[in-house]
Amino acid sequence: MFTGYLLVILAALLWGLIGPLSKYAFRAGMPPVEVAFWRAMLAWVLYAGHAVALRRVVIGGRDLALVAGFGVVCIFGLFGSYVLAVQDGGAALASVLLYTAPAWVALMAWKLLGERLTGSKIAAVAATIVGVAGISLGGGADGQLTTGAIFFGLLSGVTYALYYIFGKAVLSRHATPTVFLYALPVGAACMLPFFDFGPRPAGAWIACGVLAACSTYGAYSLYYAGLRRIEASRAAVIATIEPVVAAVLAFSFFGERFSALGYVGAGLILAAVLMTILGGRRSCT
C-alpha cells in the first residue's frame, strides 16, 4: 500500500510544476487554451509510443466510448476550464475551487465505487479544503469574483475529481498508455475552436514540452500506478500536496510570497496527507 502512496506523492510533485510552467508560457506569448492543447498533444506522442511498445493499442466496444467520453469530460473539461477560471477570476480563486476535488471524490467514490466514507476521510477532506483556501487566499492574488470564475472553477474541481473515479473504474482493464492514446486527442480536438494557431517563442514551446513530458505523461503514469494500490478518495487527498509544491516554485521563480494564513494552509494540507496515510494504515491492521 505504501508504494501506492509514494507514487501518488511523486505525481503530485510533478503536477506542482503546472502553474509555474503555464505562467511562463503565458508570459512568453502563448494563449492559455493553446497551452492546454499542446500539453495534451505532446503528451499523446509519448503515450502513443508507450502503448505501441507495450503492444496494447486496442480498446473495443463499450470501453472505447467510455474512454472517448473521458477525453471530452476530463481532458477538455479540466484542462480547458482551469485556464478559463484563472483568466476570469485569478489563480487564487481558481485554485480554491479546483481543490474542492477531494470532497467531490469522497462523495463520488462512496456512491459509485462503494468506498467507505470514514471519519478520517471526512476530517482529511475538510482539512484539505480549508488548507488550500488558506494558501490561495493568503497568497494575495488579485483576481475578481465573477460568475464565469465561479462556474469554470467549480467545473475544474468536478472534472478533476472524475479523473480519480474514472481511473479506479477503467484502469483495472486497460493500461494507462492505452487509455490516454485515445483520450488525449479527443480532448485536444475539443479545444480547437477556442484559439488560433500562430508563431510562438521558443520559451513557450519548451514550457509546453516539459508540461507534456513531466506534468502529464510522467505524473499521470505515476498516479494511476498508485491508484491501483490505494483507494481513490485517499489518493485524491494525498495529491493535494501539489499546491504546496507550486507555491514553493512560485516563490523561487516569481517571488510570490504567502501571508501567515498561507503558511497555516500549507500545514493543514500536510496534516491532511498524514491523516490519510495513517488512516489507510489502520484500515489494514
**Per residue in 215-243, pLDDT tens?**
999 998 898 788 878 877 677 778 778 77
Helix axes 32-54, 202-210, angle to 10 degrees: 50
Query: Which residue positions in the chain have pLDDT lower than 50?
Result: 140-143, 284-285
* C-beta separation of 26 from 200 below 8 A: no
**pLDDT confidence of residue 143:** 45
Residue with cell 479506479: 168
What are the grid coordinates assigned to 141, written together? 492574488
pLDDT for position 45: 97
Asked if 153 and 90 count as a contact pair (C-beta separation under 8 A), the reply is: no
User: Distance between alpha carbon 37 and the CA centroid of its chain, in Å?
Assistant: 15
Predicted model pTM: 0.80
* CB-based burial label for 211 (10 Å; 0-12, 13-18, 19+): buried
- Spell 65-81 as b/e; 16+ CB within 10 A means b: ebbbebbebbbbbbbbb
Q: Comparing C-alpha atoms, which of 238, 249, 230 is closest to residue 24?
A: 249
CB atoms within 10 A of CB 142: 7
Residue 128 neighbours by CB distance under 10 Å: 31
What pLDDT is stored for residue 167 in this prediction? 67
CB 168 within 8 A of CB 227: yes
Phi, psi at residue 40, to the nearest 5°? -70, -45
State whether residue 98 is helix, strand or coil. Answer: helix
Q: What local confidence, expressed as pLDDT, does residue 285 receive?
A: 46
**263-274: pLDDT as tens digits:** 787 778 778 777
18-28 and 202-210 helices, crossing angle to 10°: 160
- The continuous run of DSSP H or E covering 169 comes out as helix 147-170
Inter-residue contact 105 to 164 (CB < 8 Å): yes
Contact yes or no for 162/66 (Cβ under 8 A) = no
Residues sharing a CB contact under 8 Å with residue 206, sequence separation 6 or more, in sequence order: none
- The pLDDT of residue 246: 76
How far is Cα 177 from Cα 12, in angstroms, rounded to an integer? 19
- The closest of 196, 220, 183 to 8, measured between CA atoms, is 220
